[in-house]
Structure 1
Amino acid sequence: MRKFFLTCLFVIGLGFALFSYPGLSNKGEFDSIVLDFREEKAEQISPKLQEIAQEFGVKPRLNSEFSQADNVYIVEGDRALLQNLRQSGLQKYTEYIEPNYIYTLNAVPNDPDYPKQWNLRSINVEAAWDETHGQGVTVAVIDTGVSRVPDLKDTKFVKGYDFVNDRIAADDDAGHGTHVAGTIAQSTNNGYGVAGIAYEAQIMPLKVLGASGGGTVADIAEAIKFAADNGADVINMSLGGSGESQLMQEAIEYAYQKGVVVIAAAGNSNQNSASYPARYPRVIGVSALDSAGDRAPYSNFGAGVDISAPGGYMNEENPAGGILQNTIDPETGQPIFAAYQGTSMAAPHVAGVAALLKASNIESPDEIANILKEASRKVAEDPLNHFGAGHLDAAASVKLALRGQITFKDFFRWLRDNGYLNPRFWIDGGAIALLPKIGMVIGSYLLAWLLRNYFPFGWSWSLTSGLVAGSSGLFFLQGFYLFDVPQWPFRMMGSSIPELGNTVIGTTALNPIFASVLIPAVLVVLFLGHPSWKWFAIGSALGVASCLFISAAIDPAMMWLGGGWLARGFLVINALLCFGLARLAVSGEQKLA
Structure 2
Amino acid sequence: DHGHGTHVAGIAAAAANNEQGGAGICPQCKIMPVKVLDGGNRGTWGTVAAGIYYAVDNGARVINLSLGASATSRTIQDAVDYAEEHDVIVVASSGNAASSLPYYPAAIPWVVAVGATTDVDALWAFSNTGDHIDLTAPGYRIYSTYNDLTVNGGYAYMTGTSMASPYVTGLIGLVAGMDNTLTATEIIDLMTANADDLGDEGKDASFGYGRINAYTTMVAANGGQEPTPPPTPEPPDEPEQPISPIPATGEFLFLPSVARG
Please indicate the TM-score interval, normalised by the length of the shorter structure: 0.7 to 0.9
Match in the other structure for 1:329? 148
Match in the other structure for 1:387? 207
> Is residue 2:226 matched to residue 1:398?
no
Picking from 81, 96, 120, the partner of 1:292 is: 120
> Is residue 2:197 matched to residue 1:378?
yes
CA contact (8 A) 1:308 1:392 kept: yes
Picking from 257, 261, 264, the partner of 2:92 is: 264
Q: Aligned AA for 1:342?
A: G
State the shift of 1:302 in Å.
1.1
State the shift of 1:274 in Å.
4.2
Task: State how far apart, in whole Å, the 2-side matches of 1:216 and 1:209 are.
Answer: 8
Task: State how far apart, in whole Å, the 2-side matches of 1:271 and 1:248 are.
Answer: 22
Q: Aligned AA for 2:206?
A: H
The root-mean-square deviation of aligned C-alpha atoms, in Å, is 2.3
State the shift of 1:335 in Å.
5.1
Relative to 1, partners in 2 of residues 1:380 and 1:311: Cα closer, same or farther, differing over 3 Å?
A: closer
Picking from 218, 227, 233, the partner of 2:55 is: 227
CA contact (8 A) 1:328 1:335 kept: no
Task: State how far apart, in whole Å, the 1-side matches of 2:152 and 2:3 are.
Answer: 10
Deviations 1:1-27, CA, capped at 9 Å, x for gaps: xxxxxxxxxxxxxxxxxxxxxxxxxxx
State the shift of 1:347 in Å.
0.1
> Is residue 2:66 matched to residue 1:247?
no
Counterpart of 1:324 in 2: which secondary structure? strand
Task: State how far apart, in whole Å, the 1-side matches of 2:15 and 2:43 are.
Answer: 28
Deviations 1:218-272, CA, capped at 9 Å, x for gaps: 0000100100000101100000101111111111111122121110000001001
CA contact (8 A) 2:199 2:207 kept: no
Relative to 1, partners in 2 of residues 1:303 and 1:187: Cα closer, same or farther, differing over 3 Å?
A: same
CA contact (8 A) 1:323 1:341 kept: yes
Match in the other structure for 1:366? 185
Q: Aligned AA for 1:401?
A: A
State the shift of 1:404 in Å.
6.8
Counterparts of 1:57-72 in structure 2, within 5 Å, are none
CA contact (8 A) 1:266 1:305 kept: yes
State the shift of 1:176 in Å.
0.4
Task: State how far apart, in whole Å, the 2-side matches of 1:403 and 1:378 are.
Answer: 21
Match in the other structure for 2:9? 181
- Where relative contact order (Cα < 8 A, 6+ residues apart) is larger, the structure is 2
State the shift of 1:381 in Å.
2.1
Counterpart of 2:156 in 1: which secondary structure? strand
Specify the structure having the higher radius of gyration (Cα): 1
CA contact (8 A) 2:16 2:23 kept: yes
Counterparts of 1:157-196 in structure 2, within 5 Å, are 173-196=1-24
Task: State how far apart, in whole Å, the 2-side matches of 1:211 and 1:205 are.
Answer: 15
Match in the other structure for 1:281? 109
Q: Aligned AA for 1:327?
A: Y
Relative to 1, partners in 2 of residues 1:208 and 1:232: Cα closer, same or farther, differing over 3 Å?
A: same
| 4+ runs deviating over 6 angstroms | none
> Is residue 2:12 matched to residue 1:200?
no
Counterpart of 2:185 in 1: which secondary structure? helix
Relative to 1, partners in 2 of residues 1:310 and 1:358: Cα closer, same or farther, differing over 3 Å?
A: same
State the shift of 1:304 in Å.
1.8
Aligned residues: 227
Picking from 25, 28, 42, the partner of 1:214 is: 42
Task: State how far apart, in whole Å, the 2-side matches of 1:375 and 1:384 are.
Answer: 15
Match in the other structure for 1:310? 138
Q: Aligned AA for 2:22?
A: V
State the shift of 1:210 in Å.
1.2
Structure having the larger proportion of residues in helix: 1
Relative to 1, partners in 2 of residues 1:340 and 1:210: Cα closer, same or farther, differing over 3 Å?
A: same
Match in the other structure for 1:547? none
Task: State how far apart, in whole Å, the 2-side matches of 1:290 and 1:207 are.
Answer: 29
Relative to 1, partners in 2 of residues 1:333 and 1:252: Cα closer, same or farther, differing over 3 Å?
A: farther
CA contact (8 A) 2:131 2:205 kept: yes
Task: State how far apart, in whole Å, the 2-side matches of 1:179 and 1:221 are.
Answer: 22
Counterparts of 1:436-447 in structure 2, within 5 Å, are none
Counterpart of 1:377 in 2: which secondary structure? coil
CA contact (8 A) 1:259 1:363 kept: no
State the shift of 1:329 in Å.
2.9
Match in the other structure for 2:175? 357
Task: State how far apart, in whole Å, the 1-side matches of 2:158 and 2:7 are.
Answer: 8
Task: State how far apart, in whole Å, the 1-side matches of 2:21 and 2:48 are.
Answer: 31
Task: State how far apart, in whole Å, the 2-side matches of 1:201 and 1:363 are.
Answer: 17
CA contact (8 A) 1:326 1:336 kept: yes
